[in-house]
């Protein structure tokens, strides 16, 4: 199957063969697993001081005093140290040594990435995810390699407008209200996920896209399941540079 390569002005320049990776069966369960494992690598370990609530001389008075046997301070009836007492220690506090980073097999991770790539070419999945495709004629969207050379935000903005992607960028820029009651102080503005630009070489485009809301730039070799399916929701809108598309089968393998 042939697919058109577009210029930055949204004009057909050439045709290339669609890589076999887009024929990979779509596995939502596998992609969700890979995304959760990817997110676990960014969790921050937390723990408690092992002696928290235990720095006291409290001892139990034993039986025969018509009082409970919880530890009590010397020369005082106030209870301390115990789990049920004021300022006592926690029963099972979190420990920093707990392993919170999960693992996944190499073959399983690569299959999840290939499956995520295949999902980006299904128009129904991309639309169901919330992306605006009114002005986009084809998926996957392939653009000439001049896209990689853009190093100014103004040039990126003009290219996105010409390619019909700017409506999706504006959708991401709208403020989203967090769930819950009342105002949320100290919370940053939530920005949605817009187009993902995949390039073979980063010659300034990542810096140019830094201030464009919702747009992410990634090299072909650094693709992962979370970028292709943020929040484990399939069908992100992806823009491929021509060289990145041609290198898909070589690096990530075909549909098998």
**What is the average per-residue pLDDT within 207-236?**
93
Instruction: Tell me the two tokens of residue 25.
Output: 């069966």
**For residue 205, what pLDDT is reported?**
93
**What is the average per-residue pLDDT within 222-230?**
94
Element (H, E) at 80: none
Torsion of CA 159, 154, 245, 111, to 10 degrees: -120
**What is the average per-residue pLDDT within 98-125?**
94
pLDDT of 57-90, one tens digit each?
Answer: 999 999 998 889 999 998 888 999 999 999 999 9
CATH number assigned to the domain covering 2-43+102-180+187-252 = 3.40.1370.10
Contacts of residue 144, defined as CB under 8 A and 6 or more positions apart, other chains included, come to 5, 6, 7, 8, 13, 241, 242
Every domain of the chain and the residues it spans: 2-43+102-180+187-252
**For residue 179, what pLDDT is reported?**
46
Element (H, E) at 218: strand 216-219
**What is the average per-residue pLDDT within 25-30?**
95
Strands 2-6 and 216-219: unpaired
Average pLDDT, the chain: 90
Which residues face 16 on adjacent strands?
A: 3
Strands 2-6 and 12-17: antiparallel
pLDDT of 158-199, one tens digit each?
Answer: 999 999 999 999 998 875 545 445 566 776 677 889 999 999
**For residue 175, what pLDDT is reported?**
58
Question: By percentage, how much of the chain surpasses pLDDT 70?
Answer: 94
Cα first-last separation, the chain: 18
pTM of structure: 0.82
**For residue 182, what pLDDT is reported?**
54
């Amino acid at each position: 199957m042939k697919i058109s390569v577009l210029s930055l002005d949204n004009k057909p320049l050439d045709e290339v063969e669609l890589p076999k990776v887009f024929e990979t069966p779509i596995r939502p369960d596998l992609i969700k697993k890979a995304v959760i494992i990817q997110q676990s690598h960014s969790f921050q370990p937390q723990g408690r001081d092992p002696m928290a609530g235990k720095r006291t001389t409290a001892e139990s008075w034993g039986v025969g005093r018509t009082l409970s046997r919880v530890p009590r301070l010397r020369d005082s009836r106030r209870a301390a140290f115990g789990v049920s007492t004021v300022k006592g220690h926690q029963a099972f506090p979190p420990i920093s040594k707990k392993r919170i980073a999960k693992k996944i097999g190499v073959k399983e991770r690569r299959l999840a990435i290939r499956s995520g790539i295949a999902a980006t070419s299904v128009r129904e999945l991309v639309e169901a995810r919330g992306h605006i495709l009114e002005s986009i004629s084809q998926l996957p969207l392939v653009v000439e390699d001049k896209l990689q050379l853009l190093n100014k935000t103004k040039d990126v903005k003009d290219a996105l407008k010409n390619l019909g992607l700017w409506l999706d960028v504006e959708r991401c820029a709208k403020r989203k209200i967090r769930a819950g009651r009342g105002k949320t102080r100290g919370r940053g503005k939530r920005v949605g996920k817009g187009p993902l630009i995949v390039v073979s070489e980063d010659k300034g485009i990542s810096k140019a896209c830094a201030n464009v809301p919702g747009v992410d730039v990634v090299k072909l070799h650094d693709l992962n399941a979370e970028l292709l399916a943020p929040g484990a929701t399939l069908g992100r809108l992806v823009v491929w540079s021509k060289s990145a598309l041609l290198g898909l089968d070589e690096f990530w393998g075909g549909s098998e």
